[in-house]
Structure 1
């Protein structure tokens, strides 16, 4: 039975190892050497092994002591993490930051802001989802997330507070081998031309868009569940669609995608939508969520 083990004994053991001797360990702990020796002896008695070889001038870790040192350090690390979390709870810090991000928003920007938040609040866990269309708003209404990043004006609710943070630009694109890309350079693509070809569009995972259609101009559609799938299908030449500039600018510059000059899709096939940080009015942002928001705004201003 190890019921007599104490955290103090384990901390004393680690301190002696790190300081190199019982005397130095006692000085670091502001104790007399006999108290340190007694604590180590009790720890050895509880464990049933000798942690130090005391036959020489300085105590040397035995093989058993070397093996158990890693376990002791791991225990102390977990205890310190638990203590830090308990202090955070007492200060009102969230145990977890739950966040749903619109698929049109650059996820790398979110990652950088979350990493910055974790420096300030290292004990806060993160639950991150990426969803299209009504997903971010629905996550707030269903209390699946405390915070959301919303793009566009299509989904509003009076119970949701919105703060505009940046704009997201989308461009109409198609693969170089697609018939729409083979038109004369600078030729404006009309609505009838777009309607003659398959459009790749996102499906809404929620019921918020039931009976509504957003940006669908062709009767021929391929509905997909994620932005990455939409991107892949357009690259494959299956059809045309709008994608955020941050996702396709390299494809365009390298010739893997061509922009469509279609005024029906925005001036020169380009459309900008506002992006917002959103949360429920009845659920004010906690300290970690506020830290994430500040980090996100700093990142967007650079």
Structure 2
């Protein structure tokens, strides 16, 4: 029954669903509408059921169409992944490797992996960008990088493969002269009323993936910044409190410049560990340099 089923038919089906109509699907596929209609009709014939209800102004998925849509997307993902792997087997060494790294991840670890890669590929050119929250995933989705380091479980995409490479601990800190430092003296736990009058320094998401969500924002007064370094500088200057990765603040904690806050709403001992992942697109091949970086990052201990 399914001997005549083709990937082109399946891709046409998914494109029509995603674009909302046969006409829009045809425009996206750079085809005439009649060709798209013909492909869908052939697919329906092969499957022996109707995928779209065409009685209205726009085609609407039938219950059968809705049930098969997930299968169609899965088949396309697998086909694209196979195609990407085949391309990687036939391609040579990349001339450039583009990386986007979550601001929570220690850049020294990335630098060590880059140094290791250059030992084997001295002619490689790197492009490195550091972005918070949904930035790394958006960069991969928009094909602005080959590899990304993503921290946490908040952002996912079925076209993105993840490989766990370590964990990052975030802790709440404030300058030693800030009023909250006094309140937290002796290991006292702070509650939401204690934070109500004090500014929290938080990172803004450069991507639309947050959708208005707030991550660990407890104070009604916030100062939103676009980089981790700015957030760190403002907290060190005593302008507010916030959460920062332990690797970034440990020296200041040891020197007594920053004080750790006890806030029960932000995990035990005000610390939360987030898993870090190396991510890449399933439909894009990883060349020799990208594979070398992947191995180097996995082998190098986080610092």
Q: What TM-score results when the alignment is normalised by the length of structure 2? A: 0.68
* Structure 2 match to 1:255: 256
* Structure 2 match to 1:207: 208
Gaps of 5+ in 2: 1-89
Matches for 1:107-256 after TM superposition, within 5 Å = 107-183=107-183, 184-256=185-257
CA distance in 1, matches of 2:278, 2:265: 29
Q: Deviations over 1:262-289 (max 9, x none)?
A: 1111111111000000000101321101
Q: SS of the residue aligned with 1:201?
A: strand
Q: SS of the residue aligned with 2:153?
A: coil
* Structure 1 match to 2:5: none
Gaps of 5+ in 1: 1-89
Report if aligned partners of 2:103, 2:228 keep a CA contact under 8 Å in 1: yes
CA distance in 1, matches of 2:144, 2:280: 11
CA distance in 2, matches of 1:226, 1:301: 21
Superposed CA RMSD: 1.6
1:91 to partner: Cα distance:
5.5
Count the aligned residue pairs: 214
The structure-2 alpha-carbon separation of the partners of 1:198 and 1:172, relative to structure 1 and needing over 3 Å to count, comes to same
CA distance in 1, matches of 2:302, 2:245: 19
Q: SS of the residue aligned with 2:177?
A: coil
CA distance in 2, matches of 1:250, 1:117: 29
Q: Deviations over 1:92-140 (max 9, x none)?
A: 1111100000000000110110010011111221100000111100110
CA distance in 2, matches of 1:191, 1:93: 54
CA distance in 1, matches of 2:138, 2:95: 22
1:195 to partner: Cα distance:
2.6
* Structure 2 match to 1:299: 300
CA distance in 2, matches of 1:205, 1:99: 16
1:146 to partner: Cα distance:
0.5
Q: Deviations over 1:33-53 (max 9, x none)?
A: xxxxxxxxxxxxxxxxxxxxx
1:191 to partner: Cα distance:
1.7
Following superposition, which runs of at least 4 residues in structure 1 exceed 6 angstroms of deviation? none
